[in-house]
Structure 1
Amino acid sequence: MQNKGLIKFIAIILALVCIYQLSFTFVANKVKNDAKAYATAEFKKLTDKKEKGLLADDPGALENLDLNRLELKYLDSIKNEKVFLNAFTYDFVKDNQINKGLDLEGGINVILEISVRDILKGLANNTQDATFNKALADAKVNQRGNQTYLDAFFEAYDVAAKDSKTKLASPEIFLNKNLENEITLKMTDDQVKPVIRRKVDESIVSAFEVLRKRIDKFGVTQPNIQRLGESGRILVELPGAKDIDRAKKLLQSTAQLEFWETLQSDQVMNYLFAVNDALKATEVKSEEVASTEVKDSVKTEIESLLTDNTTDSAKVDTNNPLLDKMLSRGFGPVVAYFSPRDTATINNYFKRESIKSLRTPELRYAKLVWGKPTTIENDKKEQVSAVELYALKADRNKQAPISGGVVVDAAATFDQIGKPAVTMQMNGKGAKQWEELTGKVSQQKNAIAIVLDDIVYSAPGVSSGAISGGRSEITGSFTVEETQDLANVLKAGKLPAAADIVQSDVVGPSLGQEAIDNGILSFIIGMLLVVVWMILYYGKAGVFANISLIVNILFIFGILASLGAVLTLPGIAGIVLTIGMAVDANVIIFERAKEELDMGKTLEESVNYAFTWKGAMSSIFDANITTALTALILLVFGTGPIKGFATTLLIGIGTSLFTSIFITRILLDWSLSKTQNLTFSTPMSKNWFQNMNIDFLSKRKVAYAISSVLVIASLVSLFFINGLNQGVDFVGGRTFQVRFDKEVSANEVGSALTKGFGTNVEAKTFGTNNQLKITTKYKVNEEGEGIDSEVNQLLFDNLKPYLPVTMTYEQFVTNSDDKTVGILQATKVGPTIAEDIKTNAYWAVLGSLLVVFLYLLISFRRWQFSLGAVGAVFHDVIIVLGIYSIGFKYLPFNMEIDQAFIAAILTVIGYSLNDTVIVFDRVREFLSEHTTGTFNEVVNKALNTTISRTINTSFTTLIVLFSIFILGGETIRGFVFAILVGILVGTYSSLFIATPLMVDTINKQEARKKAFEQE
């Protein structure tokens, strides 16, 4: 091998760089362990003090009575300290460690969709133009596939405007103060559209920056935020986030801050009495109508909200429909207290035109809004959850006297009695407005409501006259985190439009740790089995292959760390699969060397020939390039963990080629220079697969018949009987992985949840009998920061009989490191993004087939080779889909069709092509070298020489995958099963489908001639 010294130098440097990069991960893990130890010790000290009553007058210490907060406090305190080689700070070390995905670290992954509809309405100054508003509505309905909402709006507007003379550049739509310097009356619609597109993009960029500023202050290590194309979607990952409700609230809050003058309770109560009297005459009638006209699912949902899991005071009594919901009458600016469960029903009451007509003159334009959830004492002296109702004084325009745009700074602090609060500083304009408003309110003895996103956070009275200087304070029943988040969102600024969570994935840290443990265990066992097999089969050469394999793994992890790539559970599977592919390259090399030895060449000549293009290199490169092409397709069309799988697979392909071609060669040459006792077999394996003479092509009719039966059975099951068990990735919905402290019946729990939710809820055993996967479409179309909390609360209420008696809602939903019972993982996929995922999946599969077909056409210069390879792949994919279609009702593990499954299918495609290409390379070689015998005889000889390689590669890869299937955990079992089946079917199809298809369609004489020309 030429330039051997240079290769050694590169390998040594690369190894040192990888070790250096990985050292940061080890140091970061040590610091984190120190932080956990500190937090545990400090928590114990604070707990002891609390039990002795020593923290009663120290609210700050009480708020710190939390393990996660103490751990973050420790890490924050040392972020600038040098913790490695007396040169690198913890912040630097943390930023350079291997990033773990949510499935390993725990935390939250959400895709937010900035409402382009709201941006357009804002740009059009909330116009009431019928054509414009019809286009907005039609765009939501007609939006298809990966089409953006803006493109759908333009299409819908073009259709709606055909019967209207209205132009986009008209005073009724975009010719207003918002765009007066951008749009003129003479502009055509086609000229306006680029302007609107740019303004929408600017708003999304603004939203991105606002979210980034909020996330930077959230307090998690290595947060990630990125825009997803031009869709208006933003991906946010918060590894290690444990307070999920807090995280979602932080992300979705538009931070629309307003200051309003309130009305007093006495001014509003008479209106509530009048509303109650009016409802007495209508509620019975509405119930009768519901029983006959409302759909069953909606009716059941209403009944569950009004009857199940509510206190007596919250149930509907048609004698007093409104007042019976009132938990207590308010005082001052608080009109009354109601149960959080009843707010939606009461809002619907207030929206009725007949109810609005009851308003007195002073309430004519008033806004009725809710406050933050709080706790009050009911008539039975019990502490119950409640929300306050406020009435905000407004004029015809319903505009707030002061908006949050005047706030220039905000900070978390404590009020005069030591309770958490937020102070705000206004600019000059705001300070003047604040002085006028406080002076007015002081004279009228009213209060000022501080409203954020239509929720009243506090409503302080003003008794000392006008307040100058523009400084104000928000007080209320806050925690320290809430005041920090509130100050954070106020400083970061408001979002230009609503941000809806269209997809979310929440993983508990305990589940992430289980995934790490299972992944490492399966990795080690799979690795050991491969190492042992290579030594048993190839002897000394197998030892060199194992050394090359270890170096390969070092390179993979080192490069992952260097690139800042994210390691996920599918990523670990990709690395383990890479082990099999690395072994494959060494197997091809060793088998070629053995063949040359059998032909009488010397050991050195045999090794040299194996490393030539005519030897093993063409097969190795063709096989790895086809796999890399499918991985690239996966990288382009995949999302989240699937990108991690594709990334590690691509890195693994590159490092496998380098270590197999160069590292193995250096070791073999070193052995040859020292001694001539290098072996490529052992006494046990010496005569295996020698002189094979199987007539594969004569059996192709039988193979066609068997495959036809399998394919037809698969298609019948897919299209006429079972279909596929599509996961929420493809159909939308919510999925919860819930663990119980005892075994539960999936059917019983599913029935209970269906009754409680008022819609179908599916519960399946997930791994052990004390763990369920619960799936529902309940309120998946509804957005808002309170929806997820409502669904979680409903889930908890209906699962109470199966949970520990002492378990609280907070324990059920909160992510903690030692969590063993409750929600371990929660996923939500909205219907729009589910359609996008499905579209991307189709394109990923079809794209990979097309790209590989073209590559093989270029490489082999005969379309019959491409046809045989792609035909075999279709065969493999249909059979894998068929097995999933037939088996998902019977096999005891998850067989949902989701993004991970698509990754598995593409892996199957890559592996099947890998196997087929190596067989075809051998066929092409034999056609050029063997001038005697019929075409079929030559092809059969070529196939027989690949058996040793095919069985060895398939066997080592299957060993690794089987170890993951058994030990890798329930989350990844279905994914690995698809690859296992695919490899078995792919090995069969390479010999019995791909080659026969090529043989049956090719011109035999022309093929031989072409093979000679290529040689």
Structure 2
Amino acid sequence: MQNKGLVKFFAILFALVSIYQLSFTFVANKVKNDAKAFAGGNPEKEIKYLDSIGKEKVFNLGFTDFTFDEVKDKQINKGLDLEGGINVILQISVKDVLKGLSNNSNNPVFNKALDEATRNQEGNQSYLDAFFVAFDANKGTTKLASPDIFANRNLSDEINFNMTDDQVKKVLVKKVDESVESAFGVLRSRIDKFGVTQPNIAKLGQTGRILIELPGAKDVDRIKKLVSSKAELEFWETYKAEEFMGFLGSANEALKATVKSEVKEAEKPVDSLTKLLTDKETDTASAKKGNNPLFDRLVGQGGGPILATFTTKDTAAINGYFKRPEIRALVPADKQNVKFVWGKPVSVKDAKTKKDVETVDLYALKGNRDDIAPLSGGVIVDAKDSFDQMGKPSVTMQMNGAGARAWEELTGRAYTQKSAIAIALDDVVYSAPGVSTGPIAGGRSEISGNFTVAESKDLANVLRAGKLPAAAEIVQSEVVGPSLGQKAIDAGTTSSIAGFLLVCLWMVFYYGRAGWYANAALIVNLLFLFGILASLGAVLTLPGIAGIVLTLGTAVDANIIIYERAKEELREGKTLAEAVKASYGWKGAMRSIIDANVTHVLTGAILFIFGTGPIQGFATTLLIGIFTSLFTSIFIARIFIDRDIAANRSLMFATPTTKNWFTNFHFDFIGIKKWSYAISTVVVIVSCISFYFNGLDEGVDFVGGRTFQVKFEKPVEPTQVSEELSAVFGVTVEAKVFGDDDQLKITTKYKIKEDGVGVDKEVNEKLYATLKKYYKDGLTYENFINTYDGKTTGVLQASKVGAAISADIKTNSFWAVIGAMLVVGLYLVISFRKWQYSLGAIAAVLHDVIFVLGLYSLLYKYMPFHMEMDQHFIAAILTVIGYSMNDTVIVFDRVREFLAGNVKGSFKDVVNASINTTLSRTINTSLTMVLVLLIMFIFGGESIRGFIFAMLVGIVVGTYSSLFIATPILVDSISKKDIEEIEKRHAE
């Protein structure tokens, strides 16, 4: 090996750098363990402890000291499936952005285009592109640069009346990008102040989507509210309750004719307001519950700015009543612009049932024709969580100069009219204080209400960060409990160690001392791999661990190819030095190694491009592993081999037991191609029939929906749970055993097309209410839904995928598989310079994909583990494609070599000889892969069992197809003229 000293220098340098990078991970883990011990299982105490030591020096390397914040920034970060926490993907509403840019235009063409874009947006198409298509289809003579659309005062510097639609579209693209960038900044500011260690926030391309990852986060509802709140702060004058008593009475009477009240006796603890608002002289029978659609829903009487109080569950019905034209017409003529707005929900105890009931106050705001608040949150320059005069949590705000003047004017008007000022955030009134001392100067105000300390901190945080430029809808979310994370870590660690030991033992058993050299290279490879992950700041996930373990199987592949070639050279009578030199040469094993690994890199790259989250983690570790494996296999093991050559030690690349294994094979693979074609044809036909009748078990990733992994205190009957939840949700709810008998995976598509924190909370509450009977008394909603250290029951993991994002995932997955086959096929055409090689490889891969999909279609109803079509499954399919191509390329390289060489015999004999002489490498590599995957299948945990099974089946069928499908197709596709020339050359 030339430049041996230089290789050693770089290997040692790289090893030292890797150890340096990994040292931060060890130190960070030690500090975190100390924090857990100090906190005694209290997660908030643990976070506060870590925050308090952020600037303290915790690591000394002799030449410099590092604080804990610096150490944790350099460590290998663990993903949500290992650390626990919350993952959210937000979709910034481009529709809201466009409406804002148009100054809330009433142009019918513009608004029709907005509505059609919402309905017609498909797959990866952005909302903006869908809007352009809809507008072009409906515009007639209307232009985007019309005065009542985008050629308005707000955009006068960038859009004028003379601009074409194409010119305006370019401006809109820029403006939408700016809005997403603004939303990104606002969300980053909110998250950075939340107190979670190592938060991650990233824009997802040009989709308008923003990914937020909060490792270690606990409170699901709080975090979802924090990230999706638009933070539209407004100050409105209010009407007094007595000004709308007449309206409420008239509305109740008008509704009697068309609405039948369905309020039960137990649900109406207070009826004094009903009596108050009805005519006192009216016969009491007329006020009887069941005859008053509006009043029967009252649970509290109004006063001051509060019109009345209702239960939260009745707000939708009340909103519906007030939107009716005949009810709206009853509003007094001088109050036609009134805005009916609800307050912040409050939990109270029902006096009769003794149960907690969530109630909400109704306010009437003094609206205007433009529906613009007299004062908005844009004037807020600072906000702090504090405590009011009663000692309750509140938020104090400071306004700028313009805001202070407007605030003084507004409070002066309220003082004169004896009205209150409602402080509303995202159309929810948080407080409505009266003004008793005259106009308030200085621009200082306070929001008080029924806050917890955490809520007041979050509200102050949101107000300081500013409002989002448009609504942010949660289109995908995932919640992972740390107890599941620890199980995932344990399972991944166990499978990694077991897989590593098995590969090492096999290499020593089969190759003797050369096997030890390969193992040394494997250890160095793992050091390099983890060192690079640490230096890149990569996030380690469970699929990432799978990628590392898979690297263990593929890392020895290059050594196997070299060792098998060296054995062939030794059998031809060459010395050890000559055999090694030939094996490492381009005409030896190197060309096969390069071709095989290029195909693997291409599929890994496609997986990284089209995958998201954990799948990118898998692709990252796989790609890094390929490069580190190549370096260590080619150079590290060679150092040890060259030492044997220099010392004149014998090295046979085998043991006495395995010396003659898989040699002198003369199997006629081409002769039985009719049988292999027939078997594969039957498999493809059966698979297609199963696709038609059984379909595939498409996971939430592909069809949208919510999934909960729920741990019970003892085994439960899945069918019973499914029936109970289906009855409550009103749609089919699947419940399947997931791992242990006391753990279920619950899936529902209930309201998946509806967005908002309220819907998510509704689903969580229905789930809790239905399942709490399976737990001992005392299990609270918070303990059931939220995650915390030491939790052993309840929701361990939850995920949500919206319909739009699931369509994107399905589209990306399809193109990932097709793209992988086409890209690798193109590479083979370039490398082998004959399209027949590419045809054979693609046909074999297509056969493998259909086989695996068909098997999943046939068995998903009967296997004891889940066989869902999700992103993990697509990762497995792409890995199978990479491996099958890898295996096929090794055989094809030998075919090319023999066809260009001096092997005697017919074309069929030359091809058969090519397959037989590579059989040892094929079996060895496949066997090490199967051993590793079997270990992962057994010990790797339920969450990746279906993923591993797909790869396990794929490796086996990929080995079969490379021998019995790819090469026969290559032979059948070569023209008779070419065959005659080949046979003539090899007969001489």
TM-score by length of 1: 0.93
SS at match of 1:697: coil
- 8 Å CA contact 2:735–2:747 kept in 1: the answer is yes
**CA 392–691 in structure 1, closer or farther in 2 if over 3 Å, else same:** same
Q: Which residue of 1 aligns with 2:70?
A: 92
Q: Which residue of 2 aligns with 1:434?
A: 407
SS at match of 2:946: helix
Within-5 A mapping of 1:873-884 = 873-884=845-856
TM-superposed CA distance for 1:21, in Å, is 0.5
Q: 1:375 aligns with which of 347, 357, 369?
A: 347
- 8 Å CA contact 2:702–2:806 kept in 1: the answer is yes
Q: Which residue of 2 aligns with 1:294?
A: none
Q: Distance in 2 between matches of 1:597 and 1:983?
A: 30
Q: Which residue of 1 aligns with 2:21?
A: 21
Say if 2:687 is the partner of 1:709.
no
TM-superposed CA distance for 1:675, in Å, is 4.6
Cα deviations across residues 569-614 of structure 1 (Å, max 9, x unaligned)? 1111111111111111111111111111111111222122111111
TM-superposed CA distance for 1:768, in Å, is 1.7
Question: What is the letter of the counterpart of residue 937 of structure 1?
Answer: D
- 8 Å CA contact 1:447–1:462 kept in 2: the answer is yes
Q: Distance in 2 between matches of 1:571 and 1:585?
A: 22
Give me the identity figure in percent. 63
- 8 Å CA contact 1:927–1:1008 kept in 2: the answer is no
Question: What is the letter of the counterpart of residue 266 of structure 1?
Answer: E
Q: Which residue of 2 aligns with 1:950?
A: 922
Say if 2:399 is the partner of 1:423.
no
Q: Distance in 2 between matches of 1:203 and 1:804?
A: 49
Question: What is the letter of the counterpart of residue 104 of structure 1?
Answer: L
SS at match of 2:35: helix
Q: Distance in 1 between matches of 2:148 and 2:439?
A: 41
Within-5 A mapping of 1:851-930 = 851-930=823-902
TM-superposed CA distance for 1:314, in Å, is 12
SS at match of 2:303: coil
Cα deviations across residues 176-234 of structure 1 (Å, max 9, x unaligned)? 11111211112221221111221122111111111111111111112111212222111
Q: Distance in 1 between matches of 2:243 and 2:737?
A: 56
Cα deviations across residues 750-777 of structure 1 (Å, max 9, x unaligned)? 1111110112212222122211111111
Q: Distance in 2 between matches of 1:756 and 1:806?
A: 22
Q: Which residue of 2 aligns with 1:53?
A: none
Q: Distance in 2 between matches of 1:446 and 1:416?
A: 21
Q: Distance in 2 between matches of 1:314 and 1:705?
A: 78
Q: Which residue of 1 aligns with 2:561?
A: 588
Say if 2:140 is the partner of 1:147.
no
Q: Distance in 2 between matches of 1:320 and 1:69?
A: 48
Q: Which residue of 2 aligns with 1:366?
A: 338
Within-5 A mapping of 1:554-573 = 554-573=527-546
Q: Distance in 2 between matches of 1:264 and 1:364?
A: 15
TM-superposed CA distance for 1:1005, in Å, is 6.3
Q: Distance in 1 between matches of 2:982 and 2:301?
A: 92
- 8 Å CA contact 1:740–1:803 kept in 2: the answer is yes
Q: 1:129 aligns with which of 75, 94, 107?
A: 107
Q: Which residue of 2 aligns with 1:772?
A: 744
Q: Which residue of 1 aligns with 2:763?
A: 791
Q: Distance in 2 between matches of 1:771 and 1:461?
A: 53
Q: Distance in 1 between matches of 2:897 and 2:266?
A: 77
Q: Distance in 2 between matches of 1:462 and 1:670?
A: 91
Q: 1:207 aligns with which of 183, 186, 192?
A: 183
Q: 1:827 aligns with which of 799, 824, 831?
A: 799
TM-superposed CA distance for 1:851, in Å, is 0.7
Say if 2:961 is the partner of 1:989.
yes
Within-5 A mapping of 1:501-650 = 501-650=474-623
Q: Which residue of 1 aligns with 2:278?
A: none
Q: Distance in 2 between matches of 1:181 and 1:487?
A: 34
Say if 2:162 is the partner of 1:190.
no
TM-superposed CA distance for 1:676, in Å, is 1.0
Cα deviations across residues 697-732 of structure 1 (Å, max 9, x unaligned)? 1111111111111111001111x2111111111111
Q: Which residue of 2 aligns with 1:50?
A: none
Say if 2:63 is the partner of 1:79.
no
- 8 Å CA contact 1:724–1:885 kept in 2: the answer is yes
Q: Distance in 1 between matches of 2:696 and 2:255?
A: 48
TM-superposed CA distance for 1:382, in Å, is 4.9
Say if 2:460 is the partner of 1:482.
no
**CA 1009–624 in structure 1, closer or farther in 2 if over 3 Å, else same:** farther
Cα deviations across residues 979-1012 of structure 1 (Å, max 9, x unaligned)? 0010000000000000000011113663697899
Q: Which runs of 5+ in 2 are unaligned?
A: 272-287
Question: What is the letter of the counterpart of residue 101 of structure 1?
Answer: G
Within-5 A mapping of 1:220-299 = 220-284=196-260
Q: Distance in 2 between matches of 1:471 and 1:541?
A: 78
Q: Which residue of 2 aligns with 1:38?
A: 38
Q: Distance in 2 between matches of 1:489 and 1:339?
A: 27
Q: Distance in 2 between matches of 1:953 and 1:1005?
A: 36
Q: 2:94 aligns with which of 116, 132, 144?
A: 116
- 8 Å CA contact 1:519–1:569 kept in 2: the answer is yes
Q: 2:724 aligns with which of 752, 755, 758?
A: 752
Q: Which residue of 1 aligns with 2:907?
A: 935
Question: What is the letter of the counterpart of residue 453 of structure 1?
Answer: D
Question: What is the letter of the counterpart of residue 417 of structure 2?
Answer: Q
Q: Which residue of 2 aligns with 1:59?
A: none
Q: Which residue of 1 aligns with 2:466?
A: 493
Q: Distance in 2 between matches of 1:921 and 1:239?
A: 47
- 8 Å CA contact 1:314–1:339 kept in 2: the answer is no
Question: What is the letter of the counterpart of residue 18 of structure 2?
Answer: C
- 8 Å CA contact 2:43–2:789 kept in 1: the answer is no
Question: What is the letter of the counterpart of residue 862 of structure 1?
Answer: K
For the aligned residue pairs, the C-alpha RMSD in angstroms reads 2.0
- 8 Å CA contact 1:729–1:898 kept in 2: the answer is yes
- 8 Å CA contact 2:899–2:982 kept in 1: the answer is no
SS at match of 1:175: coil
Cα deviations across residues 77-133 of structure 1 (Å, max 9, x unaligned)? 111111101600111111111111111111111211111111111111111111111
Q: Distance in 2 between matches of 1:451 and 1:332?
A: 17
Q: 1:327 aligns with which of 295, 299, 305?
A: 299
Q: Distance in 1 between matches of 2:894 and 2:856?
A: 33
- 8 Å CA contact 1:328–1:378 kept in 2: the answer is no
Within-5 A mapping of 1:50-69 = 67-69=42-44
Q: Which residue of 2 aligns with 1:301?
A: none
Q: How many residues align?
A: 965
TM-superposed CA distance for 1:916, in Å, is 0.4
**CA 423–563 in structure 1, closer or farther in 2 if over 3 Å, else same:** same
Question: What is the letter of the counterpart of residue 8 of structure 2?
Answer: K
Q: Which residue of 2 aligns with 1:47?
A: none
- 8 Å CA contact 2:190–2:462 kept in 1: the answer is yes
Q: Which runs of 5+ in 1 are unaligned?
A: 44-66, 288-305
TM-superposed CA distance for 1:9, in Å, is 0.5
- 8 Å CA contact 1:812–1:821 kept in 2: the answer is yes
SS at match of 2:787: coil
Q: 2:935 aligns with which of 948, 959, 963?
A: 963
TM-superposed CA distance for 1:478, in Å, is 1.5
- 8 Å CA contact 1:283–1:318 kept in 2: the answer is no
SS at match of 1:698: coil
Q: Which residue of 2 aligns with 1:688?
A: 661
TM-superposed CA distance for 1:779, in Å, is 1.2
Q: Which residue of 2 aligns with 1:782?
A: 754
- 8 Å CA contact 1:313–1:324 kept in 2: the answer is no
- 8 Å CA contact 1:767–1:893 kept in 2: the answer is yes
Q: Distance in 2 between matches of 1:888 and 1:406?
A: 58
TM-superposed CA distance for 1:673, in Å, is 2.4
- 8 Å CA contact 1:314–1:325 kept in 2: the answer is no
- 8 Å CA contact 2:567–2:652 kept in 1: the answer is no
TM-score by length of 2: 0.95
Q: Distance in 2 between matches of 1:656 and 1:365?
A: 71
TM-superposed CA distance for 1:338, in Å, is 2.1
- 8 Å CA contact 2:662–2:920 kept in 1: the answer is yes
- 8 Å CA contact 2:473–2:756 kept in 1: the answer is yes
Question: What is the letter of the counterpart of residue 25 of structure 1?
Answer: T
TM-superposed CA distance for 1:273, in Å, is 3.1
